[in-house]
Structure formats: structure tokens, C-alpha cells
Structure 1
Amino acid sequence: RGVVHVTSASTSAELVDPLAELPKVGAWLTGLLGGLRARIGDPAAPGDPRFSPHGVIAFTGRELVGDAPLPGAEVHLVGPAVAPRAGSSDFPWELLDPSRRLVLVSLGTANADAGGRFLTEAVTALDALGDRVQGVVVDPGRTLGAVPPGVIVREHVPQLDLLARADAVVCHAGHNTVCETLWHGLPLVLAPIRDDQPIVAGQVVEAGAGVRVRFRRVDAARLGAAITTVLDDTGGHRAAAASIGRSLRAAGGRSAAADHLERIAARHAPLPLLPR
């Protein structure tokens, strides 16, 4: 209907072609979009409704997307919208040992039921590294039983506050956790589960800021080796993460997103009526 609109890309996976190696699925999606245009818009229009021609606000950075062309000239990479979060936390800060390196393990809240085995292996790996590593494991589904005294397990954690103190993160490659981790300049161990997570994990590995493990098959020994790799920075992961973090912070986040929205609105504002 010609209404000026802006779309939001909440993950870097939206800005690449995730179906490049799945042509039949790509054709199926193209058919769905064609049917959508026929029902509510212009059947001859070539545009993709995910990417407004007026502007796309993408909460990610070029380092994750890579060198591939963006899906339009009006895609604005603003980095993550990281901001202080309201509310109090009962996290036991006094249990953190400053003499050991802090590793946060989180699979997000949407994977609580699927994460029991992985979190169990993570606890075993962290316990084996306990002379120099302290693990904080997020277990919203209460899947873990008794854990070694050196590992802290909580249903919920103040993630941004912990990231400010952490040395590395083990996660499911969810885009929010990945960007918040990189925003703090921390390397990652990535165990993607579903959705866009394999794509995001691949982008982080390609950028040099982390290593990938297999969520359903990794054991404590392999997970411990991956954690040691990013902590010891044998592959330059920490330097890459720090570089990406500087770029994400410079992108502007929520303020840059608001600036782009204001500019787009001003560019398409109706002309004032002339006095008669």
C-alpha cells in the first residue's frame, strides 16, 4: 500500500543467504513470498518483505556478517542494543574467586529442556579445570543435580554484570548472547542447537573469535579443551573478540538505531501545505 516502513534484523543470520546450499528449501520460500504478494500486495513486486526499501535496522556488525554484500542499500548495522537492565539480583558475588578465570555457561532460556546433558558435561569440564577456572552455569530448567563446590549454578544470572567480570563464555550461539559477549571483548565456545544458531556460530568462528563444538556429542574432555583453547588464546580468539567488541560499541547500538529512524521519517515526511 506504499506505506513507509522500516524492518528490524535481530540476528546477523538474516543478512546472509542461509539457504544457499538448500536450493529446494529456497525455492519453497520464494513460492511462499510470491503467494503473500499475490494475496495482500503487488504480485509483480520483486521485494522481500523482510527488507524494507526504506530502511533495515540490523542489530549486528560487519565482522559477523562478513564481506558478502548486504541485502539492500538501506541496511544499517548498528550493533547490539546493550543497555543496563533494571531489577535486582541475588547472585552470590562473594563466591567469585578473583584468583581464577571466570567462565560463564548459558544455553539461553528457550533451551532449558534440551540442555541437561550438555550442562552436565560442562560442569564436569569446569570441575576438571577448577584449579584455575571458576564456572558459572545457568540452569533455568533445573536439570542439574549436585554439582562440585567450585562451580556456581543458578537458574538466572545478571548476565551483563557477569560478562564485565568474565574471561570467556560457553553458549548456544544465540545472537543476543553472542553479541553481548563480543561487546565485552570475550571469546566464545559455541554449541549451536537450532534456528539461526549454526549460522551465527559459523560467523563467529570465521571472524576468529571462538571455537565450535557439537552440542549433542561433545563430552567433558572436548569441552574442557575448547575452553582452554579460548582462555589460553592459542588461536588469537581473545584479540579477535576484542577487535569485534570495539567495532560493535562504535556502531552506536540503540542510539544509532533511533537516529536512523528519525532520518528515515524526516526523509519521507509529507510536504507542508502551502497557504492559500
Structure 2
Amino acid sequence: MSGFLFAVPPLVGHINPTVGVAARLAARGYRVAWACPDPGLVRRLAGARAVVYPCAGIAGVERPPGLRGPEALKFLWERYLVPLADAMAPGVRAAVEEYRPDVVVADQQAFAGALVAERLGLRWATSATTSAEFTDVYEGMPKVAAWLGARLDELRGRIGDPAGGADPRFSPHLVLAFSTPELVGSTARTGEHIHYVGPSIADRPAAADFPWAWLDPGRSKVLVTLGTANADAGGRFLAECVTAVRERADRVQGVLVDPGGTLAERGDDKDVLILPSVPQLPLLERVDAVICHAGHNTVCEALWHGVPLVVAPIRDDQPVVAAQVVDAGAGLRVRFGRVTSARLGEALDTLLNDPAHRTAAARIRTAFRTAGGATAAASHLAGLAAGEA
């Protein structure tokens, strides 16, 4: 049976979408494996039996919390994405040579997967876990686009096929975009090989210790999260969120995710629950609004449940995703670095009291669920392995 090798960075938001796709492929009898610098993380998300080939990674990259805009993008590429590709490449090649997949599924930010596959003449697909690259994000910034292209050309010279010409962010064979045009917008990149499959939602290990009985059925619930990679930047923002929720405690409860332990927890608090992690998917079935950093996974999982958002983008693709949420009518945007509890409360009140945003979120939920998700992605990959692309 055909085999697939998922090349992924050691980031939860980039591994999670592949988990559901891999499960669907395995259920159909296909061989599935991963190449990742953190095999333990893959097995935690995909299951202890997941076949994972280790790759070298990079460590100790600490980004200044205040870095924004083009400087943040440059830092991301120079200090993380390009070094990660160089580090992963030998391990990805070794995995390909040992596992012998028919298709390499390369995360859009794990350039090594695409370039190694290109060098070895293998068919490869792009796993696009953020939709930021599917819009004209660099329109009006030709120097930035040229700079990024030069970095990719240099990478190709080191680990890819020097004669190749494909952008490693966009496979010429198959691109799986885990979103839909209803969120990305009317200018979304299109092509016969680009498929908007919507979010890949898969079961995750249960969190039996979450205090479900704490949730008050008589009050609206709001989830506040900044994802898994922003613990260093969120102390002030989370504190403002706590204040905004407490000022509405007669009608609102808040669940705040604080992995960095920046806030003091109160065990008897009936208004704000502060935890280092939460079972996000089952919790989203019970909340009425989400306040977040506009991370693509969090946004898509909220909208999968029809929950509107207050988005406060910090860096990277988050401003683009935040703009998509606002343009789609499914949420409101605030400034991460300057927002006050008063402004957060005002935005939260609007989401909870004005049905327009919830109606827009419900429209995107319908589009997401119609797109097919992990099942559709698995079918496209199976077709590529069979030579249909």
C-alpha cells in the first residue's frame, strides 16, 4: 500500500492538522509516518504508536517580545525557518530513504520536506496550516517578497534540486489549505491543485481533570488563549482580560489559558478559571466567545464551532488571520500591546449581544464542515499517490 511521510516542525499548531489526515489514511490501509525534530510531541498528539523519524532541530531561539511587522518576519525566517530547514534536511532525507514513501507531505513552514522531496524526485504535497500565504500578504512590499524569495533560492541550492523551480511553500502537485474561501476572502489563491479542505479536526487525549462542573449554565462563557508559543508576551494582556471578565461577572465567566504562569490562581474563584492548559475542542462546544491572538488553529477551531472572536494579533501570520476574521464579520480586532480592559469589555459585550458576528461565525462553520476536513485531505493525498494529480 502507498506510504506517506509528513514532514512537520515541532509546533503543536502545525502537527495537529496532520493528525486527523493521517488517521484517515491509516484507516484506509495506507502507511503513515512523520519526520520531526520532536518525536515525543508527535506521539503525544498522534498517539504513542505513531511512527516518527527524528530530525535535528534548533533550540534557544528567543524572540524579543516587542518585535513586530517586517522585523518580526525577518527574525522568523533568519533565526527559525531557514535554520530549521537546514537542520531537518539530513533527517528528512534519511527518513525518506528508509521509509520509502510514495508522497512527502511537507508543512508549509518545514521547507526541508519539500526541498528534499524535490531533490529525490518524489511527489510532494503542501500542508498549509495557516492561510496567510493564500492572500496578497506581500502586495505593496516587493522588497520583502524578493528577500524571502532569495532565502528560499539559497535553501534550494543547499538542500534541494538546484535546477528546481517550485516554491517550497506551494507544491505544484497538491496544496492542502486547512481553511475555506469564506474565511480567507475573495482574493484567495486558486488553482486546480489547490484544495480548501477546511480545518482538520481530530480527537485529542481527554483531559479528565478539567472542572466541568465549574461552568455556570446561567452565565456566558469566554475562552481566553494566546496559544502555545506566546507565553513570554502575554502577561499584561491576560491581566486586562481578567479585569474585563470580572467587571461582567454577573453575566460572564472566563476560562484563561496561562501556560507561563503569569497570573495568580485563586482556587475558590467562581468568575475566572486560570489553567496552564485546557481541553480546547470540547470547551469550545460550551463557550460563547473567544479572545485570542488570531493563531490560525485557534481561529479555525473556534469558527468550526460557530464561536465569534475578539482577535489581538501579536506577530507572524496573526495580523493576516485577524484581518480575515474581521472581514468575514466573525469577530472584532483589538491592539494586543495597548488594549485596555475597557476596550476588551466593549468588544466582548458586542460579541455577546449583537447576533451579527455569531451569524457570520455560523456561516463559516457551515463552510468548514462542508469542505470535508481531514477526510477530504486524505482523499486528495490518496489521489496524488495513485498518480491522479
For normalisation by structure 2, the TM-score amounts to: 0.66
Give the match for residue 160 of structure 1: 281
Preserved CA contact (<8 Å) 2:134 2:189? yes
Give the match for residue 143 of structure 1: 262
What amino acid is aligned across from residue 193 of structure 1 in structure 2? I
Structure 1 segments (4+ residues) deviating >6 Å: none
Preserved CA contact (<8 Å) 2:181 2:188? no
1:138/1:265 Cα in 2 relative to 1: closer, same or farther (>3 Å)?
A: same
1:89/1:113 Cα in 2 relative to 1: closer, same or farther (>3 Å)?
A: farther
Give the match for residue 273 of structure 1: none
1:58 aligns with 2:177: yes
Which residues of 2 match residues 188-199 of structure 1 at below 5 A?
Answer: 188-199=309-320
Preserved CA contact (<8 Å) 1:89 1:158? no
The alignment partner of 1:227 has SS state of: helix
TM-superposed CA distance for 1:21, in Å, is 2.7
Preserved CA contact (<8 Å) 1:51 1:72? no
d(CA) in 1 for partners of 2:197 and 2:156?
Answer: 29
Give the match for residue 182 of structure 1: 303
- For residues 36-95 of structure 1, the C-alpha deviation after alignment (integer angstroms, 9 at most, x for no partner) is 44554254x543121111101111111122111515431111111112212333111111
- For residues 170-223 of structure 1, the C-alpha deviation after alignment (integer angstroms, 9 at most, x for no partner) is 000000000000000010000011110010000010000000000010000000
TM-superposed CA distance for 1:19, in Å, is 1.5
Give the match for residue 369 of structure 2: 249
Preserved CA contact (<8 Å) 1:136 1:152? yes
Give the match for residue 86 of structure 1: 205
Unpaired runs of 5+ residues, structure 1, are 270-276
- How many pairs are equivalent? 267
1:211 aligns with 2:332: yes
Unpaired runs of 5+ residues, structure 2, are 1-118
TM-superposed CA distance for 1:105, in Å, is 0.5
Which is further off, 7-16 or 172-181? 7-16
Which is further off, 8-17 or 255-264? 8-17
d(CA) in 1 for partners of 2:219 and 2:155?
Answer: 55
What amino acid is aligned across from residue 202 of structure 1 in structure 2? A
Higher relative contact order, chain-length normalized (CA < 8 Å, sep 6+): 1
Give the match for residue 359 of structure 2: 239
d(CA) in 1 for partners of 2:162 and 2:193?
Answer: 21
Question: Among 109, 121, 133, which residue is 1:14 paired with?
Answer: 133
- For residues 225-262 of structure 1, the C-alpha deviation after alignment (integer angstroms, 9 at most, x for no partner) is 0001111126x110000010011011111111100001
What amino acid is aligned across from residue 245 of structure 2 in structure 1? L
The alignment partner of 1:25 has SS state of: helix
Preserved CA contact (<8 Å) 1:7 1:50? yes
RMSD in angstroms over aligned alpha carbons?
1.7
* Structure that is richer in helix per residue: 2
What amino acid is aligned across from residue 263 of structure 1 in structure 2? G
Preserved CA contact (<8 Å) 2:197 2:374? yes
